[in-house]
Amino acid sequence: MVVSIMIKNHTHKYKFDCKMAGGHVHNILGYTENTIGIGSFHLHFFYGTSSYTNHTHYFSGITGLPVKTENGHIHRMQGVLELNDMHEHDYEGYTFEEVSYASDNTQSQAVT
């Protein structure tokens, strides 16, 4: 039996604060990369920079699997901002539920 699974490429926005370190807090915000995976088993890469007064931290990672919500889904994000200025910041949060669809519309994959 062959089942066709349609996946719309999409991205999620995210914005949340990191934990305090060195007497200050960074926030991170941005958009995930397009979908990697099949249906409800998909992930997103993310990366960016976060600056505060005189220094910048870089971050990157892979989201968790989708968490179903009333109107769609979200993804968990967690990690550590890269060490800089002799400190680092832990972060943990979730993407927003709203998604932006990629212009190439749909990926299709047959599963047997």
Residue-wise pLDDT for 6-48, tens only, equals 567 899 999 999 999 989 999 999 999 989 998 889 999 999 9
pLDDT: is 53 or 12 the higher one?
Answer: 12
- Residue 4: pLDDT band with limits 50, 70, 90: very low
- In this structure, the dihedral spanned by the alpha carbons of residues 10, 11, 12 and 18, taken in order and rounded to 10 degrees, is 150
Q: What pTM does this model have? A: 0.80
pLDDT of 20 reads 92
pLDDT in tens, 56-81: 999 999 999 999 999 899 999 999 99
* Domain extent listing, the chain: 3-111
